Structure 1
């Protein structure tokens, strides 16, 4: 009796989970794997470009996830790097096909700022989203009416259509929290957020009631940071930290500014802001204390 043939080992850390449905994350993972295979083959990007007849820097763009990998290019790269096992090639090509799907947020390109795009593109693939907001309720926890009031309060004059589209975009982002593989959301808000009556008492009361409801979800943690805490920790702006379950994806941090933002996956920056969020969470009110404060504020409206 012949011994069973061992299947070829996977090229990827499995399972991929929510990443399977996130083309942007898949492109980053595929690019990172191709970079690893190239390095193992002892080649540099220029060598690959020359051997496969690619345009200059095409290999580097594919490896950075900035350039979608065409099926023909993927097959050529795998062949060059010595990947021939049928199972591995089939697995890689399946993910290439997935990565070429259109990201859901592309339909909001009319109102999605370039600097906001990296966060929207990857937050659904995260295992954990940690965020601190000094001025408003985090976007992922906003009601439509509160979101509209926040959007209208921003710089410049927006047409009603643009305001509605931005609210719709926020709602689509929130729907990612309703999926079976939803990220764990840990939000810390400044105490002043509760005192700021955005949109009027009715809108604010509805918003705070929504927060109370969201706190009942097992994958949502909300803390309120007293004013003296945020003053001592030294947080001056909104921060969102994305932690991924897969080693193929680097953790990221998104820092808000007045008219733009910074999105970084550099280890030093990520570690700095993760440490800040750790200190903030340790000093903030517990979820139970935060809930009590929310309920007090609701009664006062």
Structure 2
């Protein structure tokens, strides 16, 4: 059972997928319960994510639902096995809030990640210095020790990009990147990180022109996650001042997909974006020379 009875993002994803396959097969919960020799209540709680299914139960249900896709079966069985696994981020549970932990769980499982940032550099692309500046400038006081731990969490998260086992697309409002020139030392390092990251085969960095304010105003920052071979969005993480929430309803997901598509259509190409960032880096280095 998920810790404390609270559905985890993994158990919710598994439950939602099993429910979708059951409904596609035209079966009710009673038929599912009969297949795994459990009660209808068990199936209901499984589909809501309040309890976890074993890999054997998942295999049995998928057989009953007529799901033959090998990739889908493998994905859901793996999700069942990992739904209660301890993630590395739990070593930082004193500083990682539940919403942030959900975000990291999604991030660690995803095959495709799409990020929109209107004001900051995405966490997966931040240098330690930039991360420290953002963490310590927040609305609440954070000690130096706690800030150092949060920076470690960011660096741990970035290992998936470095390993190349996830496709990451970041759209950043140009204004957020242009502002880096006002802190030359920090900005130069961060601009280099953006250029280095964007050169990776699994990473795409695009800037939304500063003039595209109407499109930029469509949404605050969010991250969309896909978990299969195809980049179909299955969850979106939304960050606010107070917390991080996960959006999973199909209707809401469709809205975020549409917003991201609009942002991407208005953004500079990866090549144009890299050229703009190189220009900003040159300007930043020139400022450093003038100040030295």
Output the TM-score relative to the length of structure 1: 0.74
Tell me by how many angstroms 1:76 deviates. Answer: 10
Task: Kindly tell me the number of residue pairs found equivalent between the two proteins.
Answer: 271
Confirm whether residue 195 of structure 1 aligns to residue 178 of structure 2: yes
> SS in structure 1 opposite 2:199?
coil
Tell me how far apart the structure 2 counterparts of residues 203 and 273 of structure 1 sit (CA, whole Å). 32
Equivalent position of 2:277 in the other structure: 294
Deviations 1:90-111 (A, max 9, x none): x998875444421222222111
In 2, distance between residues paired with 1:130 and 1:76?
33
* Counterpart selection for 1:220 from 172, 187, 203: 203
Uncovered stretches (5+) of structure 2, i.e. residues with no partner:
1-7, 66-74, 285-292
Q: 2:13 aligns with which of 10, 28, 40?
A: 28
Q: How does 1:1-301 map to 2 (within 5 A)?
A: 25=10, 28-29=13-14, 32-33=17-18, 36=21, 44=29, 48=33, 57-69=41-53, 96-180=80-164, 182-197=165-180, 200-245=183-228, 251-301=234-284
CA contact (8 A) 2:224 2:233 kept: no
Separation in structure 1 between the aligned mates of residue 202 and residue 63 of structure 2, nearest angstrom: 43
Question: Do the aligned partners of residues 75 and 177 (structure 1) sit closer, same or farther apart at CA in structure 2, a change above 3 Å counting?
Answer: closer
Query: Residue 156 and residue 199 in structure 1: after superposition, are their counterparts in 2 closer, same or farther (change >3 A)?
Result: farther
Q: Which has the larger radius of gyration?
A: 1
Cα displacement string for residues 156-200 of structure 1 (whole angstroms, at most 9, x for unaligned residues): 1011221111111111111111335x2211111111112323993
- Give the Cα separation in 1 of the matches to 2:250 and 2:77: 30
Partner of 1:5: none
Q: Distance in 2 between matches of 1:92 and 1:73?
A: 11
Q: Secondary structure at the match of 2:211?
A: helix
1:39 and 1:205 map into 2 onto residues whose CA distance is: 53
The answer to whether the 8 A contact 1:189-1:225 is kept is yes
For the aligned residues, what is the CA RMSD? 3.9
